[in-house]
């Protein structure tokens, strides 16, 4: 180990036996200048974000009873021991008033006792302590402690508790840590909402939408809105679909700016967006619908016409259909370009004049035939279909009988209006 590094870490390694230290063991230590005079007490640590394990960039020192805060660069530390922090000569002249940039956070103020997302476990945890590592003359954040040991350590009871539990039960509480690379701090500060808070490959938007919905339900209102606003449009839409509480759904969408809210609704599956809008007061519902682009607006307005409990109320407009004279190659190309969920494209519907449904085929059939073959030569004309006013119970019986992945919905003129997927019917039955 280089001599320069020894100057900082020697006394820590002598007392704790390692280069690791907790923030609870550092806070409130006396900060002394090079002559040994008291400068103040260590109040916080400032961290520069952007690395997998970010480094401490500054020490926040509370000076005097008036609670005046000064900031010192980490490089101005001469050494640490079990009770004090020693500054280098001239460090006080380089101190400055506390100022936190958009790519920085204060560990005590913004993390300790706050909620964070464990993006590996897809859950919310409360930060009881912060685990730091001194390496190459730098102090880096490596873990957050969310266990009982972190609370006991901060209270100063940990050693006594360990001795007692070992003596009575030969047992010691386990450490509960999350690696910082899996931590997503939740900052309510408006200036930091869009900040990329870590560089892990698995960021918060990569958590499954159903897990994200569970996380949002656990958070307080401010953090919930902050997390939801940080999601990209597609993830926000998928997550909103997974939220079961209509009141929470409304709260989330209303926390977003009007334009973004309408974009999220447009990104949702039409039947899911319709279900959400149907529960809103008339004024709010109309405001959201007016803000949508024309195609989405017209699809939603059509679906809202159907009464609850009918096939039309749960059908989606997300499906693939092609004219009978189009080729297999054109259908395959259309499939490649679609962004519809997989259950919506399990069947490819074939239409004739005026969009009337005349047949159906599957992707498996498409990829096993020549690209130049017209769809009319491949399609199955023996169709099972339902009408928009058919009762959901009757539709469910058809799914049970024929084991379909989806069913087409046609009007009285046999015009294809939408489809009902197995997922749609299962969700409806589960709600019942």
107-134 per-position pLDDT tens digit: 998 889 888 888 777 788 889 999 998 8
* Angstrom distance (rounded) from CA 271 to CA 274: 5
Residue 199 has pLDDT above 70, yes or no: no
**Percent of the chain clearing pLDDT 70 (strictly above):** 90
Tell me, what's the pLDDT at 431?
Answer: 59
Q: Specify whether the CB–CB gap between 213 and 187 falls below 8 A.
A: no
Buried b (16+ CB within 10 A) or exposed e, 253-290: bebbeeeebbbbbbbbbbbbbbbbbeebeeeebeebbe
| 188 band by pLDDT with thresholds 50, 70 and 90 | low
The residue with greater pLDDT, 68 or 2, is 68
Quick one: 64 exposed, middle or buried, by C-beta within 10 A (0-12, 13-18, 19+)? exposed
| 187 band by pLDDT with thresholds 50, 70 and 90 | low
Token pair for residue 150? 């972190």
pLDDT digits (tens, 9 = 90+) for 399-418: 999 999 999 999 999 999 99
Cα 183-154-182 angle, rounded to 5 deg: 10
* Angstrom distance (rounded) from CA 398 to CA 14: 74
The residue with greater pLDDT, 238 or 120, is 238
Tell me, what's the pLDDT at 326?
Answer: 95
Judged by DSSP in three states, 371 sits in coil
Cα-based torsion angle of the residue sequence 75, 80, 83, 86 in order, rounded to the nearest 10 degrees:
-50
Give me the residue label for tokens 């001469």. 78
Q: Specify whether the CB–CB gap between 369 and 328 falls below 8 A.
A: yes
Give me the residue label for tokens 């700016």. 257
* Angstrom distance (rounded) from CA 32 to CA 161: 32
Tell me, what's the pLDDT at 408?
Answer: 96
Q: Which ranges constitute the DSSP H helices of 39-139?
A: 107-110
- For residue 60, the cross-strand partners are 44, 71
The neighbour count for residue 67, using CB atoms within 10 Å, is 9
Token pair for residue 339? 């962004």
Token pair for residue 84? 């004090």
Tell me, what's the pLDDT at 273?
Answer: 87
pTM for the model stands at 0.60
Token pair for residue 340? 């519809």
Buried b (16+ CB within 10 A) or exposed e, 89-110: eebbeebeebebeeebbbbbeb
Every domain of the chain with CATH number 3.10.580.10 lies at 320-431
Range among 84-98, 198-212, 292-306 with highest mean pLDDT value: 84-98
* Angstrom distance (rounded) from CA 232 to CA 250: 18
Q: Please give the average per-residue pLDDT across 356-377, as a whole number.
A: 91
Cα-based torsion angle of the residue sequence 282, 283, 285, 287 in order, rounded to the nearest 10 degrees:
160
Cα 31-35-36 angle, rounded to 5 deg: 40
Q: Specify whether the CB–CB gap between 324 and 348 falls below 8 A.
A: no
Residue among 412, 404, 418, 413 nearest 426 (CA): 404
Backbone angles phi, psi at 373, to 5 degrees: -70, 130
| CATH of the domain spanning 320-431, picked from 3.40.50.10240, 1.10.3720.10, 3.10.580.10, 1.10.10.10 | 3.10.580.10
Kindly report the CATH number that applies to the domain delimited by 3-107.
2.30.30.240
* Angstrom distance (rounded) from CA 26 to CA 13: 14
| 86 band by pLDDT with thresholds 50, 70 and 90 | very high
Rg (the chain; Cα; Å): 30
Residue 2 has pLDDT above 50, yes or no: no
pLDDT digits (tens, 9 = 90+) for 27-44: 999 999 989 999 999 999
Residue 205 has pLDDT above 90, yes or no: no
* Angstrom distance (rounded) from CA 212 to CA 205: 8
Tell me, what's the pLDDT at 311?
Answer: 92
* Angstrom distance (rounded) from CA 381 to CA 167: 79
Rounded to 10 deg, the angle between the 294-304 and 258-267 helix axes is 70
pLDDT digits (tens, 9 = 90+) for 240-284: 988 988 889 888 988 888 788 889 998 888 888 888 888 788 888
Kindly report the CATH number that applies to the domain delimited by 208-305.
1.25.60.10
Every domain of the chain with CATH number 2.30.30.240 lies at 3-107
Every domain of the chain with CATH number 1.25.60.10 lies at 208-305
């Amino acid at each position: 180990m280089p001599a320069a590094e020894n100057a900082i870490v020697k006394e820590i390694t002598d007392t704790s036996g390692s280069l690791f230290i907790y923030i609870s063991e550092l806070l409130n230590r006396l900060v002394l200048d090079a002559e040994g005079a008291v400068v103040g007490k260590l109040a916080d640590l400032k961290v520069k974000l952007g690395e997998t394990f970010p480094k401490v960039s500054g020490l926040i020192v509370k000076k005097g009873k008036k609670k005046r805060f000064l900031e010192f660069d980490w490089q101005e530390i001469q050494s640490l021991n079990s009770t004090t922090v020693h500054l280098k000569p001239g460090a006080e002249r380089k101190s400055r008033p506390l100022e936190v940039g958009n790519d920085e956070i204060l560990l005590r103020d913004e993390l300790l006792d706050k909620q964070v997302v464990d993006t590996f476990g897809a859950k919310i945890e409360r930060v009881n302590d912060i685990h730091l590592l001194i390496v190459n003359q730098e102090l880096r954040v490596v873990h957050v402690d969310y266990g009982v040991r972190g609370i006991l350590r901060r209270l100063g009871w940990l050693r006594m508790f360990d001795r007692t539990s070992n003596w009575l039960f030969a047992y010691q509480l386990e450490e509960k840590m999350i690696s910082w690379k899996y931590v997503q701090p939740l900052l309510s500060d408006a200036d930091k909402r869009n900040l990329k808070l870590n560089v892990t490959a698995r960021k918060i938007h990569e958590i499954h939408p159903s897990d994200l919905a569970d996380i949002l339900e656990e958070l307080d209102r401010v953090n919930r809105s902050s997390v939801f606003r940080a999601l990209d449009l597609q993830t926000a839409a998928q997550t909103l679909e997974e939220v079961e509480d209509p009141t929470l759904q409304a709260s989330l969408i209303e926390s977003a700016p009007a334009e973004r809210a309408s974009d999220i609704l447009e990104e949702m599956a039409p039947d899911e967006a319709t279900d959400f809008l149907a529960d809103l007061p008339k004024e709010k519902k109309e405001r959201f619908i007016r803000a949508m682009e024309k195609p989405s607006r017209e699809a939603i307005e059509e679906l809202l016409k159907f009464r609850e409990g009918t096939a039309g109320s749960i059908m989606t407009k997300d499906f693939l259909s092609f004219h009978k004279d189009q080729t297999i190659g054109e259908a395959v190309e259309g499939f490649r370009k679609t962004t519809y969920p997989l259950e919506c494209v399990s069947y490819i519907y074939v239409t004739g004049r005026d969009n009337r449904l005349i047949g159906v085929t599957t992707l498996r059939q498409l990829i096993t035939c020549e690209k130049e073959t017209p769809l009319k030569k491949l399609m199955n004309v023996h169709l099972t279909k339902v009408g928009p006013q058919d009762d959901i119970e009757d539709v469910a019986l058809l799914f049970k009988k024929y084991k379909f992945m989806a069913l087409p919905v046609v009007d009285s003129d046999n015009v294809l209006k939408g489809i009902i997927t197995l997922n749609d019917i299962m969700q409806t039955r589960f709600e019942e």
